[in-house]
Each structure stands twice: as C-alpha cells, then as structure tokens.
C-alpha cells in the first residue's frame, strides 16, 4: 500500500553531473580530502577489494542521551560526502540512533584506486563489510541521490540486514539510457571532471540547486568539491569520478524497485529535475526527464511497502536546504515505518 503526504517548503533544483569550467583560486585538499574538517571524527576501515588494500573513511556517531538500540547508515550522493549529512547526523543521534556515515570508495576521505571495477554491488559489499566489522547486524539505510541507488542495491543484496529504507531524492527513478539519453564515455567524463572549479560549481549550484537563492553555509560544500578536485590528487579524483558516473548511467536499479520488501520511505523534493546526461540529450528527450513531482509518485507505486512524503517546491537536497523540516519529517517517517 502506498501512502502520500505533502509538506510545504521552498524550492531547490539539482543536476547531478556538474559542468566544466576553468580552474580558479581557492582551498586545495588532499586526495582523501585531507585538510577539510568533518563534523565528527573520521575513522578508517582497511580492507581488501579487487586485489587492492583500500581504506574507507566513516563517522561512527553514538546516540546522544537515551539510546533506542537502532542504527542508521547514511549514504551520500555523487557530489556529496558523509560530512554533508552534518545536520541529519545530529538530529538522529539526539533521537537515540547510532549513526554511521561512510564515504564510499572513490569519494571524499576514502581511497581512489587507479583501477577499480565500480558497481553498486561492490559498494554495497564494501559497506556491509564495514557494518559487520562494527558489529551492526541490522540497520536502517538512508540514501540520498546516488546514495539512493546504492541503498536500494544494498537492500536487495542484504534484505535480512535492512530494517528500513529511506530514499531522499534518489536518482535512478528512471533509466536514462533506455529513454534515449546518449552515452558519454569514461574518457569524456574524465575530461569534463578535470575542469571543475569552485567558481563554476558555485554558479551552477546557484542556478540549479537553489534557484538563485544562496546561503553562506553553501560555500563550504562548494569548497569541499572544488578543493578535492584541484588538490594533489587532481587526476586521480577526476578519473574515479568518471568511472562512478559511468556506473550510475549503466547500472539502473529502476527495474528492481518492485522487489524491495522492507518498509520504504520516499522523501521527494518535487522541484528536483536531476537526470544524468540531460545536458547532451536531444531536446525532445530532455523534456521528458527528471520530473520528480511525477517520478516520486510513480516509484512509490512500484515499491510494495512505500510511504511517499513530498516536499512541494524543494529540490534535490532537502536535508541541506531545509534541514530542520527535513530531519523532523525523517524521524517521524522512521518511527512510523
């Protein structure tokens, strides 16, 4: 059964693939985001994968006050990091949850291998190994954007270990390649990613994330992305980013939403227009893509035990634009499932 609720909010839009711009001045961070301050201590999980020794950065935040015995795993999006969950981590911890916020391999504080076969299955396996090491046998997964695709894949691989699923403006609510979006090669993605800069990212986010409205706190996340890209790991970061974009485009989870059996909360900003490759899609195709006001309702019908909560007027990252409202809604939804 699908339940639909609506919440009033302001607007925000996002395109997941950032455009190319020339380099500009600004902070530069190490290849594993060395020099950027996280809201909680970052620990590292060392493990073997595909013949390589890798490390996965993560925050493990205990419940503050009375613990409820439950754990929440927060899965970040493509242009985000575990740190961007800052407000949500605090809200969940205050509510009694243990919170794990990992940076996936290829992202942020984690390893960026020269050669790696990226798949959502592999990232899910990595995350499962981390949780097993931490003694977490069952958890609620909260996935945003690309993290929504990963959380879906994790839930399909490990249904017995997934207590609940919450998807925050997940991408992959449609299969772009099946809808006619042209394929962009890894080399093409790489050339694009090499040219990212703080100036270009800020202008892009102003126009798409926040529809002309900018808050000073957004500068921190611009610097995070641009500083990682322009630091000593510049080519390494760009190459891993290109591989990850290829994974996102070529590995849809859309066809398997029907197989999710756990309670699932869909948190959808209705003004989101995210669609991978929409910038190179033919106009007639582009016009059909990324309509989250429709996609949320459609996918809620595909998932057997879904509850859809809509944020009218909000875009791709409601947890960052309206954190107090989002966190209240998330906690209510998790308690109700």
pLDDT of the residue at 337: 61
Yes or no: say if 66 and 96 are a contact pair by the CB < 8 Å rule.
yes
Write down the pLDDT at residue 21: 38
CA dihedral 161, 166, 169, 170 (to 10 degrees): 10
Q: For 108-125, write each residue's pLDDT tens digit.
A: 999 999 999 999 999 999
Beta bridge partners, 218, equal none
Instruction: Name the residue with higher pLDDT: 1 or 95.
Output: 95
Tell me the longest C-alpha to C-alpha distance in the chain: 54
- pLDDT, average across residues 80-109: 98
Residues 200-236 have pLDDT tens digits of: 888 777 766 676 778 898 899 999 999 999 999 999 9
Count CB-CB contacts under 10 A for residue 337.
17
What confidence score (pLDDT) does residue 144 get? 97
For 160, the domain range is 3-336
Residue 208: per-residue pLDDT? 65
Tell me the pLDDT tens digit for each residue of 286-297.
999 999 999 999
Nearest one of 330, 336, 289 to 93, comparing CA atoms: 330
pTM: 0.92
**Does residue 1 carry a pLDDT above 50?**
no
Are 164 and 155 a contacting pair, CB within 8 Å? Answer: no
CATH of the domain at 323: 3.40.50.1820
Q: How far apart are CA 321 and CA 325, in angstroms?
A: 9
- How many structural domains are present in the chain? 1
Q: What is the mean pLDDT of the chain?
A: 91
Q: Say if CB 249 and CB 185 are below 8 A apart.
A: no
Confidence of residue 25 (pLDDT cuts 50, 70, 90): low
Cα angle at 127 between 98 and 103, to 5 degrees? 80
pLDDT of residue 65: 75
Chain segment 142-201, per-residue pLDDT in tens: 999 999 999 999 999 999 999 999 999 999 999 999 999 999 999 999 999 999 888 888
pLDDT given at position 119: 98
């Amino acid at each position: 059964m699908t339940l639909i609720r609506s919440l009033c909010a302001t607007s925000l839009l996002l395109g997941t693939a950032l455009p190319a711009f020339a380099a500009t001045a600004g902070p530069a961070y190490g290849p594993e985001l060395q020099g950027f301050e996280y809201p909680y201590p970052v620990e590292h999980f060392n493990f073997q994968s595909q013949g390589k020794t890798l490390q996965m950065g993560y925050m493990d935040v205990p419940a503050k006050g009375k613990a409820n015995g439950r754990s929440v795993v927060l899965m970040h999006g493509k242009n985000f990091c575990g740190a961007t969950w800052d407000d949500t981590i605090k809200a969940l911890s205050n509510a009694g949850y243990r919170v794990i916020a990992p940076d996936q391999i290829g992202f942020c504080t984690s390893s960026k291998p020269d050669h790696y076969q990226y798949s959502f299955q592999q990232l899910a396996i990595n995350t499962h190994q981390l949780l097993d090491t931490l003694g977490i046998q069952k958890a609620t997964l909260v996935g945003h954007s690309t993290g929504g695709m990963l959380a879906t894949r994790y839930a399909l691989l490990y249904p017995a270990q997934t207590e609940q699923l919450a998807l925050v403006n997940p991408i992959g609510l449609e299969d772009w390649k099946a809808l006619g979006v042209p394929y962009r090669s890894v080399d093409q993605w790489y050339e694009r990613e090499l040219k990212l800069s703080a100036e270009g990212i800020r202008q892009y986010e102003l126009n798409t994330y926040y529809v002309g409205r900018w808050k000073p706190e957004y500068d921190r996340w611009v610097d995070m992305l641009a500083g990682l890209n322009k630091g000593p790991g510049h080519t390494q970061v760009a190459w891993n980013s290109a591989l990850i974009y290829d994974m996102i485009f070529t590995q849809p989870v859309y066809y398997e939403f029907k197989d999710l059996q756990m309670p699932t909360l869909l948190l959808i900003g209705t003004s989101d227009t995210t669609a991978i490759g929409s910038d190179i899609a033919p106009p007639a195709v582009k016009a059909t893509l990324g309509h989250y006001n429709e996609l949320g309702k459609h996918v809620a019908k595909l998932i057997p035990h879904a509850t859809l909560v809509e944020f009218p007027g909000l875009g791709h990252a409601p947890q960052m634009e309206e954190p107090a409202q989002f966190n209240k809604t998330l906690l209510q939804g998790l308690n109700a499932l």
